[in-house]
A and B are shown apart, each in its own frame.
Chain A
Amino acid sequence: SQQGEEDPQALSIQEGENATMNCSYKTSINNLQWYRQNSGRGLVHLILIRSNEREKHSGRLRVTLDTSKKSSSLLITASRAADTASYFCATDAGGSSNTGKLIFGQGTTLQVKP
C-alpha cells in the first residue's frame, strides 16, 4: 500500500490565495519530499525536508514536518495560475537512506483560477 496519503484530493482556489496540502505516512522516514506534476508529464522536485527538520522554506513554498504525527504539509502562498498541477509527497523507504525507492502519496490536484 502507499506510504503517503494526501488530503485534500482536489483543491480549487483563486489566484492570490494560499493553498495548503497535507500528507500522512505510515513508517519511519529519513526525509520527505514534495513533487509537482503538470498534466500527465514528469514530476518536478520542489523541496526536501529531513526527519530532524520541522519547517523549510523555498520561495513561495513552506513545508512542515511532524514526525510524531507522521504528517507533513505544503503551503503555497500567493498562488498563481501556473501553480495548477498535481502535488505529491514522497518518502524514502525508511531504514537505510541509500535507496532509490520513493513511496508516493495519491496526490492533491490543485486548480488555481485566474
Chain B
Amino acid sequence: KAGVTQTPRYLIKTRGQQVTLSCSPISGHRSVSWYQQTPGQGLQFLFEYFSETQRNKGNFPGRFSGRQFSNSRSEMNVSTLELGDSALYLCASSPRDLGGAAKNIQYFGAGTRLSVL
C-alpha cells in the first residue's frame, strides 16, 4: 500500500495570506489526524477527522480548520497567516476500524513545511 501523502512539501507565504494543505491517507484508513510541529512547542494535535466528521480538536484558534472528503482525503486550512504559524504540519492516518490497540497506531506523512514571511 502507498503511504500517507502530503502536498505540497514546502510552502512559503506572507502574513495575512491563507494556505491549504492536503493529505491522502493510506488506502482503507478512515481516520486522519493533523499535527503542528515547532521547535518551541513540539508536536501539537490540531484535529482529527473520521468519516468526514471532525471528532477531536486541539487548542488552536479558529483560523485553523479542516475537512475530510468521502474518499478520506483531508485538507487543512489556515487563514490570516501569522509568523508563528511557521511550522512542519504533519498528517497521520490510522485504521480506526481495527479492534484492539492497533487502531491507535498512526502512520505519518513526510509533512508540509510552511514558512510565513
Contact = CB atoms under 8 A, between A and B. Distances in A.
Interface of A: 2, 30-31, 33, 35, 40-45, 48, 50, 88, 92-93, 97-107
Given A88-B43, A100-B50, A42 B104 contact: no
Interface in B33-48: 33, 35, 42-45, 48
Contacts, number: 73
Contacts of A97: 101, 103-104
30 contacts: A2-B42, A31-B101, A40-B88, A40-B111, A42-B4, A42-B90, A42-B108, A43-B90, A43-B92, A44-B108, A45-B105, A45-B106, A45-B107, A48-B102, A48-B104, A92-B104, A97-B101, A97-B103, A99-B55, A99-B56, A100-B31, A100-B50, A100-B56, A100-B94, A101-B45, A101-B48, A102-B33, A104-B42, A104-B43, A105-B42
Interface residues of B, number: 31
B110 interface: yes
B45 A103 contact: yes
Contacts of B109: 42
Given A48-B101, A98-B103, A103-B45, 11 more contacts: A2-B42, A40-B88, A42-B110, A43-B106, A48-B105, A50-B101, A97-B101, A100-B48, A104-B35, A104-B44, A107-B42
